[in-house]
């Protein structure tokens, strides 16, 4: 794993495959690190002739953390949004899209295929709209448009998402229990839940960079960005919108809204898939990404 300077901050990243091959840039979701794109999944893309780069978003993993900015009050943020006000936030998803393009700049990559999951899907959508000359194709997975009329997660899921977790360095068992409970809540019901794998991933992320304030700032970035559908109307590159039919965090209607907002986008709904990427679906998802990338 390496770091580089892009868009004025440090970004942690790693790369797989032939450096001279076409690049696929993988963008992680809310509060997660690049390791949420597992190595076997990355290899399923490199085996089809692509260079794969995954990186940590700002405020996550080995990238710059904005600890000088106070963690936003999420209740105040929600109240402001409900009142139709524009909340003040440390940064928005537009800044995070600029990070992704800055990473490509620093690595000397002129054009790339973008793949984003959850919040990362929105970042990829914005980047594809703002930088059409830099993006070859777009895949948005389990994501949304910020349309305020779309359905949201159930109260149970939202409560678990925003409930403070025990500090993993003071109460590792409690932190694991909390995190595993949430992972189960949003997992794909039709596929086996890999508890050992999830446990190892949760601990790996916590030990690398535990920062609940960063998680809150990323939530604020989503809220501060708002509805991006007007931007999506500008996208003309090949696009795939992939969603799980059983997604308990971001309902499938959000994926449909994304696809209908992008001209010519393909919508792919996977039965039994939730808000995660089970190992059994690595090849299915990778093949779909490559299919769209080859529509050029």
Whole-structure pTM value? 0.96
pLDDT band, residue 70 (cuts 50/70/90)? confident
Count of domains in the chain? 1
**Is residue 241 in a domain?**
yes
- For residue range 282-296, list pLDDT tens digits in order: 999 999 999 999 996
**Is residue 256 in a domain?**
yes
pLDDT of 296 reads 64
pLDDT of 1 reads 76
**Is residue 196 in a domain?**
no
Q: Which CATH number fits the domain that encloses residue 42?
A: 3.40.50.1820
**Is residue 169 in a domain?**
no
**Is residue 221 in a domain?**
yes
Closest by CA position to 134, among listed 64, 235, 231, 58: 235
Higher pLDDT: 23 or 86? It is 23
Q: What is the mean pLDDT of the chain?
A: 95
- For residue range 218-268, list pLDDT tens digits in order: 999 999 999 999 999 999 999 999 999 999 999 999 999 999 999 999 999
Radius of gyration for the chain, computed over Cα atoms and rounded to the nearest angstrom: 18
Structure tokens at 5: 């300077």
Distance CA 93, CA 97 (A): 6
**Is residue 183 in a domain?**
no
Helix axes 155-162, 172-186, angle to 10 degrees: 150
**Is residue 43 in a domain?**
yes
Residue 116 structural domain: 2-151+212-293
**Is residue 131 in a domain?**
yes
């Amino acid at each position: 794993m390496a770091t580089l300077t892009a868009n004025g901050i440090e970004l942690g990243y790693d790369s797989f495959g032939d450096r001279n091959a076409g690049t696929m840039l993988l963008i992680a979701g809310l509060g997660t690190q690049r390791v949420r794109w597992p190595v076997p999944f990355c290899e399923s893309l490199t085996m089809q002739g692509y260079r794969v780069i995954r990186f940590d978003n700002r405020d996550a993993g080995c990238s710059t953390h904005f600890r000088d900015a106070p963690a936003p009050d999420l209740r105040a943020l929600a109240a402001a949004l409900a009142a139709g006000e524009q909340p003040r936030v440390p940064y928005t998803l537009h800044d995070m899209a600029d990070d992704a393009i800055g990473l490509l700049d620093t690595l000397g990559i002129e054009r790339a295929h973008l793949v984003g999951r959850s919040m990362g899907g929105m970042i990829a959508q914005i980047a594809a709209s703002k930088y059409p000359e830099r993006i070859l194709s777009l895949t948005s997975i389990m994501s949304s448009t910020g349309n305020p009329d779309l359905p949201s997660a159930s109260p149970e899921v939202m409560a678990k998402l925003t409930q403070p977790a025990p500090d993993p360095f003071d109460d590792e068992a409690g932190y694991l229990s909390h995190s595993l409970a949430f992972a189960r809540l949003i997992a794909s019901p039709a596929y086996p839940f890999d508890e050992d794998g999830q446990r190892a991933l949760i601990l790996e992320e916590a030990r690398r960079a535990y920062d609940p304030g960063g998680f809150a700032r990323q939530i604020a970035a989503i809220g501060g960005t708002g509805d991006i559908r007007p931007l999506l109307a500008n996208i003309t590159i090949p696009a795939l919108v992939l969603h799980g039919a059983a997604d308990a965090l971001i309902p499938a209607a959000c994926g449909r809204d994304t696809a209908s907002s992008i001209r010519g986008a393909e919508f792919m709904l996977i039965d039994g898939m939730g808000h995660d990427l089970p190992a059994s679906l690595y090849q299915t998802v990778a093949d779909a990404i490559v299919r769209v990338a080859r529509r050029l």
